[in-house]
Chain A
Amino acid sequence: MRRRRNRNFIPSRILLAVMILICIILLFTSYVSNFTSGPIHTIANYLFVPMQKGIDYIGNTVFLNSEESKTKEALLAENEELKSKVNDLTNQINTMQLQQNELEELQSIYQLDHSYGNYEKTGARVIAKSTSNWFNTFTINKGSADGIEKDMNVLAGSGLVGIVTDVGTHYAVVRSIIDDTSSVSGMVISTGDNCIVSGSLKDMTNDNMILFGNLEDTQGAVNPGDSVVTSNISDKYLPGLLIGYVTQITDDDNHLTKSGKISPVADFKHLQDVLVITTKKEVGDVGSEASD
């Protein structure tokens, strides 16, 4: 009875089979050709992104206000803390300045001119957070129309946040480095040793850490507190971007490599404004141009 009422020209079981097939075809094409969604992007551009921007704007005003209502004591304490930090940093800058001058001199002698950190950046706003609790991706309000391309690096404050994985005309999807599927080739500044930095949902939820491994530190010179930056052999990340600081280091079972935890610099809990580096890493054509 009920079935007849439901305009039942195709049995739902067959319809299910057809739809599963469509999904599998979608999966397969996206796996093989790196195709992600193509024409549906247009819908997202004109339908969702403006609405998400609007809602995000309202949300931010509401939630920023709750942030603004800190007590006077808390603000004073914070002010005090920040002042001492400013002093520290000023001192640090002075010494750095001297070292920088020296470095420039030496570089000019050697005719080297690597300028780490002087990449062109453009600011963007986070308009939607990850779609599930399992992944750490977010959407920003700039896309190909603003010069964003796939594989561009994203920073927040002074730390690396992630990489652009998908671009629409007016939005882009960023996968953060704390995502469980993310891995970055890193380097410990103090010793120049390379390692692999990978996100971990478990360690992120437990104590806000990400993992590193494959560190070949034969002298045992890497200590907790050392900074880890993106390495120069990474094929998608620009060299010299600060990832975080080593907090814990242990020997692997093979006694050749080490692994441990890194505390990331960027504040992933409160991401609002990010910087997208519009320079892309150029590695010749070793399979980097997989996208269409």
Chain B
Amino acid sequence: MEVKPLIRKIVIIALTIVAAYLLQTAVFSHLVLANVTPNILIIVTSAFGFMRGRKDGMFVGFFCGILLDLASGTLFGLYALVYMLIGYLNGLFEKLFYGDDIKLPILLIGISDFLYSIIIYIIFFLVKGRFDILFYLKSIILPEIVYTILVSIVLYFILYRLNIFIDKPDKRSRSKFV
């Protein structure tokens, strides 16, 4: 009884992460707006964080990060660490989260993306003496946040349904087939 829902949850979340990763690297790379692409994996990490709590957010973030580490070929484990922390932090807001209201999710996703961008900027750019933070803010960080939020408005509702589907499989499938 305990194991089956767990496996089910893991499979669904894993498929979601894979789909998000493919969206980000293969689909949205064709849809560049204002020189940036949206950060789909941060949406997934953040959403599962505040929908399912700290632990789940943490693991979702970790695996999202591992995928990015694989594809980026730089230091292995860095994205995993950053995404994991973001997932955990979003998990702290689980208590404030009420399903259909979209304001909090959008806000949290925006903040998460901002946090992620700032961390990447500090680790890879500031330490190399690129101090012009205003430029990076204007031409990369803010456009990315805006684009990410736009995409997340659509994506959030899919993730939200998915989350309900993870928790109450029977009810949903019954209502579907009767």
A-B contact pairs, 12 of them (CB 8 A): A23-B81, A24-B77, A36-B76, A44-B71, A132-B72, A134-B117, A135-B74, A139-B71, A201-B140, A202-B130, A202-B136, A202-B139
- Contact: A41 with B81, CB < 8 Å? no
Shortest Cβ gap from B41 to chain A (Å): 8
Q: Which residue of A lies closest to B21 (CB)?
A: A48
Shortest Cβ gap from B63 to chain A (Å): 11
Chain A residues positioned under 8 Å from B135 (CB to CB): 202
As a 0/1 sequence over residues 156 to 167 of chain A, the CB contacts with chain B under 8 angstroms (1 = contact) are 000000000110
- Contact: A129 with B29, CB < 8 Å? yes
Q: Which 5 A-B pairs have the closest CB atoms?
A: A26-B77, A129-B29, A166-B73, A30-B76, A173-B73
Contact of A44 among B70, B76, B81, B88 (CB under 8 A): B70
Chain A residues positioned under 8 Å from B24 (CB to CB): 131
Question: In the complex, A56 Cα to B85 Cα: how many Å?
Answer: 31
Chain A residues positioned under 8 Å from B121 (CB to CB): 134
Question: In the complex, A29 Cα to B80 Cα: how many Å?
Answer: 14
- Contact: A16 with B54, CB < 8 Å? yes
Question: In the complex, A175 Cα to B71 Cα: how many Å?
Answer: 11
CB-CB contacts below 8 Å: A1-57 with B: 6-7, 12, 15-16, 19-20, 23-27, 29-31, 35-37, 40-41, 44, 47-48, 51-52, 55-56
Interface range, A side: 35 or more
CB-CB contacts below 8 Å: A53-111 with B: 55-56, 59, 62-63
- Contact: A52 with B81, CB < 8 Å? no
- Contact: B120 with A132, CB < 8 Å? yes
Chain A residues positioned under 8 Å from B117 (CB to CB): 134
Q: A20 and B81 in contact (CB under 8 A), knowing A12-B54, A37-B76? A: yes
A133 CB within 8 Å of chain B: yes
Q: Which residue of B lies closest to A172 (CB)?
A: B73
A263 CB within 8 Å of chain B: no
Shortest Cβ gap from A18 to chain B (Å): 10
Q: A55 and B81 in contact (CB under 8 A), knowing A166-B73, A175-B73, A202-B135? A: no
- Contact: A19 with B71, CB < 8 Å? no
Question: In the complex, A202 Cα to B124 Cα: how many Å?
Answer: 13
Shortest Cβ gap from B42 to chain A (Å): 10
